[in-house]
Amino acid sequence: MSDLAASPYPPLASPLLAGDIVRGTCRLLAAHGYGTLTEVTLRTGRRVDVMALAPDGGIAVVEVKSSVQDFRSDRKWRDYLDFCDRFFFAVGEGFPHDILPGEPGLIVADRFGAAILRDAPETRLAPARRKALTLKFALLGSQRLTRMRDPEAC
């Protein structure tokens, strides 16, 4: 019997790909004035799905979970808490919310947009870490834009 068949949660009618959830989440954050980057590697070597920089300098991290199996097999999300002011899970519609921890924020997304169902509590970063992350965000965004415009330059 497969793990999916053993799950008490039925499979989603049309499961979303993680990329669809990322796209909708980034659209939501952009509508709130955030800049977003995906697949950002932290100094620990861990890679966050979405990092977002708020107009006030706040940093949010979003961990995307596209399936119950994805959530159950990945417990690294707590490692991200030291690198953001707010932490969210983003899932597709139909994902069982009751298996997610209650303390992080919760975003439900599809490829066209998203909604915040539960806001994330704020835990302010230390100023030195905020500066380092903000500089990383700016440099990474600039490098990606340069590669997109001129792939031979890098």
Confidence of residue 15 (pLDDT cuts 50, 70, 90): low
pLDDT, residue 14, reads 45
Q: Dump pLDDT digits (tens) for 30-86.
A: 999 999 999 999 999 999 999 999 999 999 999 999 999 999 988 889 999 999 999
Confirm if 29 and 60 have CB atoms less than 8 A apart. yes
Q: Inform me whether the pLDDT recorded for 7 exceeds 80.
A: no
What structural domains and CATH numbers belong to the chain?
A: 12-153 (3.40.1350)
Give residue for tokens 């002011």: 85
| pLDDT tens track for 95-126 | 999 999 999 999 999 999 999 999 999 999 99
Q: Give the 3-state secondary structure of 50-84.
A: EEEECCCCCEEEEEEECCHHHHHCCCHHHHHHHHC
Strands 105-110 and 35-41, sheet pairing: unpaired
* pTM for the full predicted model: 0.86
